[in-house]
Amino acid sequence: MRIFLVLSAAPRSDGEAVEVVAYEVAQHAVRFGHTLFVQIILRDPLGSEASVRATEGLQRLKIENAVAYPPLYVPRSTNGASTQRDVLIHRCIRIAKSFRESEMFPASRLGSRVAARVRESRADVILGVWSWEALAATYRIRDVPKFMYYGNPDHVPLEARLRHPELFGIPSSTFRDRVGLALDRLRNRRRRYLHIQMMNQCEVTANNSILDARFYAQHGHPRSIYLQNMWPTVCGEGDDAKGTGPGGDGVIRIVASVGNLGATGNTFGLYYFGKELMPRLDTRLAGRPLEIHILGKGAPTAAVNRHLDDPRIIRRGWVEDINQEIQSSQVFLVLTNVSHDFLVGNTRILLAWSLGACVVMHANSALAMPEVEDGYNALLGRSPEEIADLIGQVVEDDALRRKIGSGGHETFQRYYRSDVVVPKMMTLIQELVMR
């Protein structure tokens, strides 16, 4: 097949999750004999850090039968911000324009340029991977089937943030703030509606969360399916799980977060950790030496920061060898799904499972990923007291820690390895093309 692959970041094996997953899809697709035409659409402007990184990633992309088109850049909004001097009618016009598709999904303005490149490539299918821009720029193309591998509906992160403005630093104290907040919520309802309409014009939506697959099906999508997330193999076939126990210094080490610290899931998770879980851990571990390692770029919101002022909570930033950091800890903690307003499938779980690490998580994670099994590949808690107790059990019971790590590794090998998931994807795409 000739596959037109649309991404929001350049494929690379050593990058962030979206880059790694894109790389895995690309390399395995080519191994199955398919030809790729790679189109990156960036929301950041030319010359930005993201632009430089994408250009470097494309230059490093050494995959045979993969043709890379020059990146396209999402046009900037044409709807300028209002000022105090604006008369009322001008402000009303700006507000009305902000509800247009081209403002909410500016990548849709690239539709004709992307369509021209699709025709030039003579592609059999369009494949979008974790890319809001891919959907917006291609959904109008009628003569080539579209397969969207998706991680999170476009409106969901902002919807969760707008429901908790104080947590995300969204002003809401004055009358003007509340009016602005109401308008933002109304705009996001419009974004939700438009997103569903765009996705419904794609022949297949394959979702990393079973909740999202149900969401699209409930809103009229003819082929909304659950397709597991993926991660490259770390432990080879036959290797033992590589999670380790306490170090010789007796310090309990927990990796409590990875990724962008200001992201939606991490904001909920870090707030819950600092405010609710840390005091319970103090009680459960009875003063034993403890280090909480926070890995990843970005900064938490002010509301979260207030609860992370503890010398035992160590912000590491970007680490060069995240695998080693996880393997040298006793617990890998996942709290990104603590809020029912934001439930997603998590790549970080796959990363931990691939390493044979012992995962403790909030029980909500199992709602999005049906392969999560309490007592086998993870320990699930529904309250901060339960989660603190589970961490205590893991620290005190080497056999339990090894059992959970081994179960996670087996689950990863069976369901989530990229060389397992990509063949499923390619089979589904081939069926779509042959229809």
pLDDT tens-digit map of 334-370: 999 999 999 998 899 999 999 999 999 999 999 999 9
Task: Report the SS3 class of residue 401.
Answer: helix
In this structure, is the dihedral angle defined by the CA atoms of residues 356, 357, 363 and 368, taken in order, positive or negative? negative
Q: At 277, list the tokens.
A: 């879980």
Least confident residue range of 71-80, 191-200, 378-387: 71-80
- Residue 239 has a pLDDT of 47
pLDDT per residue as tens digits for the range 159-195? 999 999 999 999 999 999 999 999 999 999 999 999 9
DSSP-H helix ranges across 144-263 = 156-163, 175-200, 210-218
The residue type found at 371 is E
Residue 276 CB neighbours (<10 A): 17
Q: Tell me the pTM.
A: 0.91
Contact (CB, 8 A) for 207 and 213? yes
Helical residues (DSSP H) of 314-381, grouped into ranges: 322-327, 347-354, 365-368
pLDDT at 302: 95
Contact 369, 349 (CB under 8 A): yes
Match 């494929």 to its residue by tokens.
11
- Reading the block at residue 270, the tokens are 């870090």
CA distances from 66 to 26, 130, 286, 326 (A): 8, 19, 56, 33
Q: Are strands 2-7 and 35-42 parallel, antiparallel or unpaired?
A: parallel
To 10 degrees, what angle do helices 156-163 and 175-200 make?
160
Say what angle helices 156-163 and 264-272 make with each other, to 10 degrees. Answer: 40
Portion of the chain with pLDDT greater than 90, in percent: 78
Model confidence pLDDT, tens digit, residues 15-62: 888 999 999 999 999 999 999 999 999 999 988 988 998 888 888 888
Backbone angles phi, psi at 254, to 5 degrees: -125, 130
List, for residues 199-228, the tens digit of each pLDDT value.
Answer: 999 999 999 999 999 999 999 999 999 999
β-sheet with 379-381: strand ranges across = 313-317, 290-295, 252-257, 331-334, 359-362, 379-381
- Catalogue all structural domains in the chain, each as residue range(s) with its CATH number: 2-77+106-231+418-434 (3.40.50.2000), 252-416 (3.40.50.2000)
Residue-wise pLDDT tens digits, 3-15: 999 999 999 988 8
- The separation between CA 77 and the C-alpha centre of its own chain, rounded to angstroms, equals 25
Cα gap 201→144, rounded to integer Å = 11
Locate 307 and state its tokens. Answer: 């609860």
Which bin fits 33, alpha (ψ -120 to 50), beta or left (φ > 0)? left
- Tell me the CB-side half-sphere exposure of residue 180, using CA atoms within 13 A: 12
